[in-house]
Structure 1
């Protein structure tokens, strides 16, 4: 097949849906090996349609059959790329925003790879990014995916930028206990927005439209944890503004996003023995929940997940409070019928020690690559963001997970 016989065009939901879903389900995601992970989308554009601007392109073989052999999704938002100090040192630093594009879900049918289709899809998406005024584009891939890394870094001009960790914890049949030392409050979207804007707006990749994220139907809620002997316990809560003006010594916050309504995952290639052992742990956990057996959920059929985002906090006990919030997230995922809970944090995230996860299910180094699209440097003090050192924390937008 010649490369020129493949046409890249905008996705048409009426005629392209089944073809796009077929390509998606043929392509494994994450680290390759004897067991592979596959995605089942509720809708081909579901992973980008919650962003302010988005586009999906498909690669189609020209001819009477018009088979879809590849696809790519992209979205654009305004996000933090750095910070500049306030003219008064005692005041909060100001975020520096940039118009940021994200490539998500580049897929090429296994039978049509090495024909330049992936490159054509990326170039087509970048043209749209530039038309919309995006200053940077970035993407995420597994660091061991040599074909993807080579495509973006060697052929498309992207640079290796950040290596965050994806931390995944299974959802057990039993509920996880939440320490009695902590009081957890559910925040209104308005209070959650206040917390995030005042304390996290200068965090790298923080979305300027955080209000839209928090009010999205897929956002299950935002929760803040304090110690039970804190003066900011539930009886004394008077709002996020008052809380931040006089915070307790330690506190933590996180939000929960329902990915189950967007996509499901499935592990294929597991042996019968692995499946039988996993099933045995589930049966024991259901029958003896008080023993809190660390059972393995059924990951060998399509399963959903809840994503924990906006993790943060302050004080010597923040990691312990994050652990309590993660237990709450697990219990919400259990009630929601999910197989796992997941989050993504910077490699040097200070609160990482409070995030429970199974190493076998997690990814220590998810590779993010970035490319500057704009010719001028409108980022102020940041200059060229692609050359900036990694910060201790990042804000992972749940719409792009």
Structure 2
């Protein structure tokens, strides 16, 4: 292990990675005749058998719809679904589960807030905190995932508001030097990525949140990459909304979370209309249920919620501080190892501080798609492309990048396999 391990706080345990890997059936398979080296967890993580089994057990024994029946199966399903909501609340230290809204992914969570603001902007008697007019502003950053850019572009186009953004430094950090000029009395919302999916940068949010609240703006964190990899405390971060997704944190696809302050959710108009989100319906008008039900129209992803709850149980047992330190140590090992490859340039922070376990790079003269194909032939699975972050790629003068991303089951030996495969790639392309 790296020298960084000596700085681990004494109360933070180390992960037993061999024992963890034994819980993940897929890690025992081969790819192209080689042992699987899965380095694409920032895209989708793998699932431990505990998550797979929990979902299968629910489907075998308690499958039913929720909040719609008084029979035994319906009661069991409702209890399991709401139990998962309680687990999410505890995991992010939310004051209660009433601020936890189940959605299908982070993209839907961000769009929910965006469309609620649109509805408030065109409706009568809406809460002024959500109403946008011409001249109002929304602030994001240049390192956002498209899901935290496009919804706000659409909202600005439809309301006459203006979109502004923090730039990125050459070192891959958020440039907050113009904070007071960027966030002003015209700002209605600041929506910032907490950990960049492409650069790995962990953004310090304290000064941004403080400034936003000083001018009366709301703050949203895209925590898709941070919640799976580090402790999250929504009270300590003092934000108004966070978004994250199950499939990046050992859980299933098809479920994510919007957390919001309860009083804000209660003031927001609904996103989707239909069953279960109503208080009462007549042919003349409808009144809406209190959050979170207000934002969960129709049959929700029940089995997926059970899986997310099981994933949270697994991560909680590991200790999220240990998860964060494991990845910090992997980064300390991987960064110099990757830079030993001729022509390789790391995009983003080149030190294991203020960054997570997603490392993107360019291999001079070789397109990332070619890099990905050679690595796949060696059993090494990475992601290539623009990573749904085209503005970030443009900022660094490339059309695409190759990204290796780590998680609880990643080993130094797998990083060695990646580096060896990159040397092979270099030889193949001369």
TM-score under structure 1 length normalisation: 0.22
Higher percent of residues as helix: 2
Higher percent of residues as strand: 1
TM-score under structure 2 length normalisation: 0.21
